[in-house]
């Protein structure tokens, strides 16, 4: 019997041809193709600076590092995120301060974050969970009032918008991931986007070992050894990966349209189910994953019911504050801990066939029907 994964990258002959061209050029590291990828990203996002890197985690790390955080400085973020968000903060010697999320979107609860601000708080990191940028006006206004920098973790949200504005052109600095399952992939990759000239100038040398000029600039005419001006990392993107990203960027719209269609079909099919509640979605989202809340304590039961029918599902994520690494912190996050027991990620990927979608829907509905779970009306809290 065919199995249905949760996520799957979608790469084809076009990406392979682009990689072959890079092989033929004999320049495999960061060079002209990475530059072209950055230029295309700048144009697409409508932002002044894009710095391509090797992973989304590196993007977050150099963005935070460029803010000049000192040991003991604090960065606010939701606990319910991939561990990369918190590890990027830890790598700067700053301290992650974990916050609650809104149950209907699983994005940062801004009022809760505001309560956790201390004199050491320097930045706030909203995570655009599953592709949705939510309450960003509130995040930006809190940051303005309290003098905080905003570092967006947009690993899930490449191509999404917020109130008509492209994600990447909203806050101080935005970080994307192009890992294998993201909205577009480079194989592995990431990018930092910012409109802030000074910040961009601080981020750039951190990408390649603190050097003022990278190997390609020197190769392509600028002579002399590079000056090393700041501590830096080896986070550059290779032309092999950039070539994949460029092709994927050109196909972005078809990916987005199909994934939105799948989300609409799921939302409609689950609207009358009692125990299984979809997250809030907007037409501005490039959906990354599809998450429901199973509210009757039967999440694990649904997961194994699906597994028995060869349908994969997952739990995204273990709240960061529950990880042994952060055992000295143990903040009180009852909403997050309850949500952790409820969340379930269902299959969502571009190549899902209509039959795959119907199979998932039928299984979830059959599970609910078996226990007589129905509700007459779905209510979503109003929000921005």
Q: Write the CB contacts of 104 (distance below 8 Å, at least 6 apart in sequence).
A: 279, 280, 380, 381, 383
What sign results for the dihedral spanned by CA atoms 227, 193, 56, 108? Answer: positive
Tell me if 359 sits within 8 A of 307, measured CB to CB. no
What 3-state class would DSSP assign to 345?
Answer: strand
Instruction: Pick from 27, 41, 45, 57 the residue near ligand PLP by CB under 6 A.
Output: 57
- Least separation in angstroms between residue 175's CB and ligand PLP is 7
Tell me if 285 sits within 8 A of 256, measured CB to CB. no
Range 193-229 burial, b when 16+ CB lie within 10 A, else e: bbbbeebbebbbbbbbbebeebebbeeeeeeeebeee
From 77-85, 100-108, 217-225, 329-337, give the range in contact with ligand PLP by CB under 6 A.
77-85
Comparing CB distances to ligand PLP, the nearer of 189 and 275 is: 189
Comparing CB distances to ligand PLP, the nearer of 85 and 336 is: 85
Interface with ligand PLP, residue 179, by CB under 6 A = yes
Interface with ligand PLP, residue 81, by CB under 6 A = yes
Comparing CB distances to ligand PLP, the nearer of 79 and 177 is: 177
- Least separation in angstroms between residue 56's CB and ligand PLP is 3
Interface with ligand PLP, residue 78, by CB under 6 A = no
Query: Where do the H-state alpha helices sit in 46-92?
Result: 56-66, 83-90
Comparing CB distances to ligand PLP, the nearer of 85 and 183 is: 85
Interface with ligand PLP, residue 85, by CB under 6 A = yes
Interface with ligand PLP, residue 190, by CB under 6 A = yes
Binding mask 88-127 for ligand PLP (x = CB under 6 A): ---------------------------------------x
Alpha carbon separation from 74 to 143, 154, 224 (Å, rounded): 13, 20, 40
From 81-89, 221-229, 237-245, 333-341, give the range in contact with ligand PLP by CB under 6 A.
81-89
Nearest residue to 4 via CA among 366, 325, 314, 342 = 314
Neighbours of 339 (CB within 10 A): 20
Residues forming beta bridges with residue 49, ordered by sequence position: 194
Rounded CA-CA distance 176/287 in Å is 14
From 76-84, 201-209, 231-239, 300-308, give the range in contact with ligand PLP by CB under 6 A.
76-84
Interface with ligand PLP, residue 241, by CB under 6 A = no
- Least separation in angstroms between residue 87's CB and ligand PLP is 9
Nearest residue to 128 via CA among 289, 348, 268, 339 = 289
| Residue of 182, 259, 280, 371 marked active site | 182
Q: Is 182 a catalytic residue?
A: yes
Comparing CB distances to ligand PLP, the nearer of 191 and 364 is: 191
Alpha carbon separation from 182 to 7, 35, 189, 245, 260 (Å, rounded): 9, 21, 10, 11, 15
Tell me if 228 sits within 8 A of 90, measured CB to CB. no
From 78-86, 94-102, 256-264, 349-357, give the range in contact with ligand PLP by CB under 6 A.
78-86
Interface with ligand PLP, residue 342, by CB under 6 A = no
Distance of CA 284 to the CA centre of its chain: 15
Judged by CB under 6 A, the number of residues near ligand PLP is 14
User: What's the token pair of residue 256?
Assistant: 């987005």
Nearest residue to 347 via CA among 383, 316, 381, 384 = 316
From 52-60, 114-122, 332-340, 360-368, give the range in contact with ligand PLP by CB under 6 A.
52-60
Interface with ligand PLP, residue 177, by CB under 6 A = yes
User: What's the token pair of residue 338?
Assistant: 């309850």
Interface with ligand PLP, residue 82, by CB under 6 A = yes
- Least separation in angstroms between residue 68's CB and ligand PLP is 21
Active site residues: 182
- Per CB under 6 A, residues contacting ligand PLP are 55-57, 81-82, 84-85, 127, 153, 155-156, 177, 179, 190
């Amino acid at each position: 019997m065919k199995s249905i994964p949760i996520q799957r990258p979608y790469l084809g002959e076009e990406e392979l041809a682009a990689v072959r061209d890079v092989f033929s050029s004999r320049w495999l590291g960061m060079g002209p193709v990475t530059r072209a990828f950055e230029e295309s990203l700048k144009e697409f996002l409508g932002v002044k600076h894009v710095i391509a890197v090797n992973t989304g985690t590196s993007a977050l790390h150099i963005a935070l590092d460029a803010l000049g955080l000192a040991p003991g400085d604090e960065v606010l973020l939701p606990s319910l995120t991939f561990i990369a968000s918190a590890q990027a903060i830890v790598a700067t010697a700053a301290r992650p301060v974990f916050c609650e999320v809104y149950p209907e979107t699983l994005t940062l609860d801004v009022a809760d974050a505001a309560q956790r601000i201390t004199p050491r708080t320097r930045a706030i990191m909203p995570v655009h969970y599953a592709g949705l940028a939510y309450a960003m006006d509130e995040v930006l206004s809190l940051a303005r009032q309290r003098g905080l920098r905003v570092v967006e973790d947009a690993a899930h949200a490449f191509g999404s918008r917020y109130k008509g504005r492209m994600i990447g052109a909203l806050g101080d600095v935005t970080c994307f991931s192009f890992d294998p399952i993201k909205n577009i992939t480079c194989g592995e990759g990431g990018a930092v986007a910012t409109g802030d000239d000074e910040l961009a100038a601080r981020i750039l040398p951190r990408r390649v070992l603190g050097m003022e000029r990278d190997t390609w600039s020197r190769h392509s005419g600028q002579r002399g050894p590079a000056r090393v001006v700041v501590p830096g990392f080896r986070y550059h993107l290779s032309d092999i990966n950039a070539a994949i990203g460029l092709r994927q960027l050109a196909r972005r719209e078809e990916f987005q349209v199909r994934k939105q269609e799948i989300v609409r079909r799921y939302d409609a099919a689950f609207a009358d189910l009692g125990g299984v509640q979809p997250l809030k979605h907007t037409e501005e989202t490039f959906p990354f994953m599809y998450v429901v809340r199973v509210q009757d304590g039967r999440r694990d039961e649904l997961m194994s019911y699906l597994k028995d029918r060869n349908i994969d599902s997952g739990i995204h994520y273990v709240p960061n504050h529950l990880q042994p690494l952060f055992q000295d912190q143990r903040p009180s996050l009852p909403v997050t801990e309850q949500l952790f027991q409820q969340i379930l990620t269902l299959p969502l990927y571009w190549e899902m066939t209509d039959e795959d979608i119907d199979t998932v829907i039928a299984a979830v509905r059959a599970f609910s029907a078996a226990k007589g779970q129905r509700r007459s009306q779905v209510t979503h809290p109003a929000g921005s």
